[in-house]
Chain A
């Protein structure tokens, strides 16, 4: 139905009435008074009406929204004019726990920004093959516990590509991939979040060529108890620039990231088979790389399937700049005061168990020294060594041939 057809002249009105009178059996021609020319109403309706495989475009401009957008049609591309050109602003959001919620397969989100969502910026739940490219999720007021939790947030997805995007100011993780498999996170910039990039309870992830600066913790690889998907493993973190992640932790207490000390470059907790290589890490007050058991959080867990110990963490060929000069954790600060110099770049909490596999192997990094905190012994006898983890592990296959720039298969 066009504007011209019901444009207000009596003649066209009469005509319309006649058409409708004769069309009572086919009343989809009836105009609802809810129809509107507002571009966001149009976008909202387009996201509902788009056919599978279709394209929905977000115009250039800044648009204010007061409630969440939703997309549940598979194969759709939602595309704006660029992460700084098409801006969906949620400063006045009054309803919905996220800016955009996607519950569909084979969706591509590209070229737009979500600003100041009350909760998460973009959540993609239970999907296959989500591509997020040239997006920006930002809380524009800087770090604050009042900011939303996650910026770019696929959870329980098979096939995730997050690339060339920006996440700023999340009070949990800027880029957070949870309970997912086959993941590529590359060429993104994460800044001023509590966690820059977090891979949690996920399998097969490549995190590379990202710039991760001024977060509380740069890149986190976690495995947590009590979740449907267990056994996080096979995560490669390589060729990232991870510097100056010293922002004071502003996460609301109770969340696991609230326990992350400020000044942490890369933190591995309770994962298996993590390969951390060829990263540049510099200026971290607590540590360049920390490898922890879940036990150090002191949190209870009731999950017979959960393994709280990290295993086969391979740290090699990294460039460690300065770290350990201002540790943001009481036991570490005391150890540093005791030795009167910066802590080593590589820190392990010391929780261990009988296993044929090493917890950690560290080779060919720019600095060799590490510390075993002796957390199980109450930090009474921390051990410093240059060769404590002198072992080798096979390289992981990886999700994509990233070095050659080959795309992931479904990209």
Chain B
């Protein structure tokens, strides 16, 4: 058992150790070698710096998404760090709804955080993020939970999460993930999941076997749904800055909440016809057009309790008779969708999806023998 190899380190010496390490090694000035495994401490990567009470990025830029993945109302600070001279590209032949291709040497970070309205509680209001190379995030009143790192190493993408200590000073590599017991400002207790390394692949892994990891968030259509100034949308700034090599037209997703964009971002990394949930036969990508593949009048396949006594994925006009809606409304791990990454209900999205189903046309009435 590897437990024998796991050291139990007593607390006081550990703090001393930490202090001596921080003195000795911080701040990192050299980029972390691509040939080395990802380090034990996030600071060693030299991507995120804490300066004057602000979180800043080094050799990278901060971005946001018009339609983010829901993660228990956590706010997210996202950054891309391209290698010197490197640029992202649109995947050959792909539309603006596929994630960009980033060159080897790229690192992408996503830091999950909450406002702290009172000691021991987390607030669910979204923290606005500046974007760009000089963006700063004021850390006062915030709790940093984890920073997920995607690195395009020589052999392909790898993913791991770093768990922040309670003081928010250092984040430690947490391959095995963690469950964090949090309480909202309204007193609702929930379990926040820091994914283990394999669970990173549950979303970032492509194909049925989830073998090859890829970034999934930075899709041109989603980046372009954000305005960074009165005049400019975010993806245009990427193009102007040379961060992406892309002369093609970008069809931006709506700037407002949108049911199909929500399904794409929150569901389609598994439900895309070739993803880890291909056995269910759904395709929830923004580009999906066949009603059946969206779940309209489609019986469940292996939903188990997730079917909730309902007969079809989507019953047009009847969200209360639609498994899609039912699973988004639940918190039970055996019922809810997505399977990972949330334990609270995204109430706003639930209303959005309900309204969308109300508008759909069709009728799934049918009868069977048994």
Q: Hey, which bits of chain A sit against chain B, CB under 8 A?
A: 1-3, 5-6, 8, 13, 16-17, 20-21, 24, 27-28, 30-39, 41-49, 57, 59, 66-68, 70-72, 93-97, 101, 103, 117-120, 125-127, 145-146, 148-150, 155-156, 171-172, 176, 178-179, 224, 226-228, 252-256, 259-261, 296-300, 302-303, 329, 331, 349, 375
Known A28-B37, A38-B3, A41-B6; judge A118-B333 contact (CB<8 A): yes
Known A94-B191, A118-B332, A119-B334; judge A34-B174 contact (CB<8 A): yes
Partner of B179, one of A70, A94, A178, A349: A94
B24 within 8 A of A: yes
* Segment touching A, from B116-124, B128-136, B291-299: B291-299
Across-interface contacts of A21 in B (CB, < 8 A) = 20, 24
B308, B311, B367: residue with the most chain A Cβ atoms closer than 10 Å = B311
In order of increasing CB-CB distance, the 10 nearest A-B pairs are A149-B304, A42-B3, A298-B368, A254-B307, A70-B198, A119-B334, A126-B208, A46-B2, A97-B339, A126-B209
Across-interface contacts of A176 in B (CB, < 8 A) = 302
User: Cβ of B292 and Cβ of A226 under 8 Å apart?
Assistant: yes
Shortest distance from the beta carbon of B290 to any chain A beta carbon, whole Å: 8
Shortest distance from the beta carbon of B364 to any chain A beta carbon, whole Å: 7
User: Cβ of A33 and Cβ of B7 under 8 Å apart?
Assistant: no
Bound CA–CA A74/B335 (angstroms): 29
* Segment touching A, from B11-19, B57-65, B79-87: B11-19
Bound CA–CA A303/B334 (angstroms): 28
Partner of B370, one of A46, A254, A261, A300: A261
User: Cβ of A31 and Cβ of B369 under 8 Å apart?
Assistant: no
Across-interface contacts of A5 in B (CB, < 8 A) = 7
- Using A37-B3, A103-B211, A255-B300 as known contacts, list a sample of 5 further A-B pairs with CB atoms less than 8 Å apart, ordered by residue number in A: A57-B1, A70-B199, A72-B210, A256-B299, A299-B299
**CB-based nearest A residue for B367:** A298
Across-interface contacts of A118 in B (CB, < 8 A) = 332-334
Known A42-B1, A48-B176, A96-B333; judge A149-B198 contact (CB<8 A): no
Shortest distance from the beta carbon of A102 to any chain B beta carbon, whole Å: 9
**CB-based nearest A residue for B28:** A24
Partner of A228, one of B210, B281, B310, B312: B281
Known A66-B179, A172-B304, A253-B311; judge A93-B333 contact (CB<8 A): yes
Known A150-B304, A261-B370; judge A34-B178 contact (CB<8 A): yes
Q: Hey, which bits of chain B sit against chain A, CB under 8 A?
A: 1-4, 6-10, 13-14, 16-17, 20-21, 24-25, 37, 39-41, 44, 163, 165, 172-179, 191, 193, 196-199, 201-202, 205, 207-211, 273, 276, 278-279, 281, 290, 292, 297-305, 307-312, 323, 332-334, 339-340, 343, 364, 366-370
Partner of B196, one of A44, A126, A252, A296: A44
Across-interface contacts of B311 in A (CB, < 8 A) = 253-254, 299
Across-interface contacts of B196 in A (CB, < 8 A) = 44, 48, 70
User: Cβ of B3 and Cβ of A20 under 8 Å apart?
Assistant: no
Known A95-B343, A226-B292, A252-B308; judge A296-B369 contact (CB<8 A): yes
Partner of B7, one of A35, A38, A126: A35
**CB-based nearest B residue for A16:** B17
Shortest distance from the beta carbon of B194 to any chain A beta carbon, whole Å: 10
**CB-based nearest A residue for B310:** A254
User: Cβ of A228 and Cβ of B278 under 8 Å apart?
Assistant: yes
Shortest distance from the beta carbon of A44 to any chain B beta carbon, whole Å: 4
Shortest distance from the beta carbon of A304 to any chain B beta carbon, whole Å: 11
Bound CA–CA A179/B278 (angstroms): 11
User: Cβ of B343 and Cβ of A43 under 8 Å apart?
Assistant: no
User: Cβ of B7 and Cβ of A178 under 8 Å apart?
Assistant: no
User: Cβ of B21 and Cβ of A30 under 8 Å apart?
Assistant: yes
Across-interface contacts of A228 in B (CB, < 8 A) = 273, 278-279, 281
Bound CA–CA A6/B9 (angstroms): 7
Known A57-B1, A254-B307; judge A224-B301 contact (CB<8 A): yes
Bound CA–CA A67/B340 (angstroms): 10
Q: Identify 24 residue pairs between A and B in the complex whose beta-carbon atoms are under 8 Å apart, listed by A's number.
A: A2-B7, A13-B13, A20-B20, A24-B24, A32-B173, A34-B163, A34-B176, A41-B3, A42-B4, A57-B1, A95-B179, A125-B210, A148-B304, A149-B302, A150-B302, A150-B304, A156-B278, A226-B299, A252-B309, A253-B309, A253-B310, A255-B307, A298-B366, A329-B369
B3, B205, B278: residue with the most chain A Cβ atoms closer than 10 Å = B3
Across-interface contacts of A57 in B (CB, < 8 A) = 1
Shortest distance from the beta carbon of A262 to any chain B beta carbon, whole Å: 10
Shortest distance from the beta carbon of B306 to any chain A beta carbon, whole Å: 8
Across-interface contacts of B273 in A (CB, < 8 A) = 228
Bound CA–CA A3/B5 (angstroms): 8
Bound CA–CA A254/B364 (angstroms): 13
